[in-house]
Structures are given as C-alpha cells and as structure tokens.
Amino acid sequence: MAERNITPLQILTCLEKGRITESPCRDVRGDWRCRIEHYTAGSAINVAVAIKYNNKGVYTVIVTVF
C-alpha cells in the first residue's frame, strides 16, 4: 500500500463500492479469490481478495492492492 500510495480508506471504499473485474475462482489452497476495482481520487484502485473458510467462520484477506 505504501509503495503505491494507497490508503486504507481507499481500499475500504473499493471493497464497498467497487465492481468485480475478475470472476471468483478457487485457488490451489481451496480459497475463493477475485479482483475488485473502483475509481477513487482520480485513479483506479484494484484489490485482490481471498475469501477463507475455517472452523471459526469466514473471513476476507487482502492479497494485494494496485
């Protein structure tokens, strides 16, 4: 995030208001992954997300942002 000057607020906005640009698919670990894009602060923010399942419930992991 710091290398690309992307703030946590921009990531949250992307997750809330963005659109899925890469369809969800399973990776080799069995997690679901997708890419979400949103235009904010004059540029496109992309967030790669993994949805993990475990015995405590479901949670989302931010893989990378660009």
**Is residue 1 one of the residues assigned to a domain?**
no
**Is residue 47 one of the residues assigned to a domain?**
yes
Please report the pLDDT score of residue 19 as a whole number: 96
End-to-end Cα distance, the chain: 8
**Residues in the chain, pLDDT under 50:** none
Give residues with Cβ within 8 angstroms of 42, minimum separation 6. none
**Number of domain units in the chain:** 1
Please report the pLDDT score of residue 64 as a whole number: 83
Please report the pLDDT score of residue 62 as a whole number: 82
CB 6 within 8 A of CB 45: yes
Please report the pLDDT score of residue 53 as a whole number: 79
**Is residue 2 one of the residues assigned to a domain?**
no
**Is residue 51 one of the residues assigned to a domain?**
yes
* pTM of the entire predicted model: 0.81
**Domain with 26 in it:** 8-65
